[in-house]
Amino acid sequence: MSSSPYKRVLLKVSGETFCRRGESGIAMDQVGVLADQIKDVANAGCELAVVTGGGNILRGKQFSEVSASINPPTAHYMGMLATVINGLALRDALENVGVHVRLQSAIPMANVCEPFIKGRCERHLEKGRVVILAAGTGSPFVTTDTAAALRAREIGADAVLKATKVDGIYSEDPLKNPHAQRYETISYKEVLDKGLQVMDATAIHHCMEGNIPIVVFDYQRAGNIARVVAGEPIGTRVGA
């Protein structure tokens, strides 16, 4: 990793990473694809933390909007628990391919995983272990994108890598407008001013305040995560 611009990165993976396109739940073959790419990054020497989403199982905000009998905070806690389920699946997939990994949760559950403790997380990273960070921030009404930005600031990550199923940030939805412009680089302020759906505004503000670049890229092409970590110009880079 001597030529990499990043020593430590935070990888944000959404819930859709854990299932097949158009489906929900967990498809372990898809989790295995992600695990293989993470293994390449870990073997190259980059310190890697992973924040998991949970939308393949349940999105707290959406669930509260369609379920009148569920209080919004309860729905958000349910969504946070969904990210822990994904974290468990990813942990076992990584162990299966020989990666040293730890799962930490912002909601304490001692029989399942470690609690998130900043110093302990950093020690794991320094020892070459991948750390999966689940349950968001442990508080309702906070997205996993914002959790990723906050954790990146806490652990001193050099970048936030957002793995998606598109190859970057576009001026419009490229599925609706084939002439939409894809950005190679864009500033935090432009993202906010244009209302581009990259990460929620709170997450963008945290990265901007911490001067942490965000790279949005298509993780589905084999080796792309390692290429981004190596500094190759893949996807869209959001910076100052």
Query: What residues are designated binding site?
Result: 12-15, 54-55, 59, 137-144, 164, 170, 173
Beta strand pairing call for 169-170 and 182-183: antiparallel
In order of 2, 88, 101, 117, 148, the CA distances from 133 in angstroms are 26, 10, 11, 10, 9
Alpha-carbon span 238 to 188, nearest angstrom = 6
Annotated binding residues for ATP, written as ranges, equal: 12-15, 55, 59, 164, 170, 173
Longest C-alpha distance within the chain, in Å?
54
Reported for 61-66, long-range contacts at CB under 8 A and 24+ positions apart, including other chains, are none
Annotated binding residues for UMP, written as ranges, equal: 54, 137-144
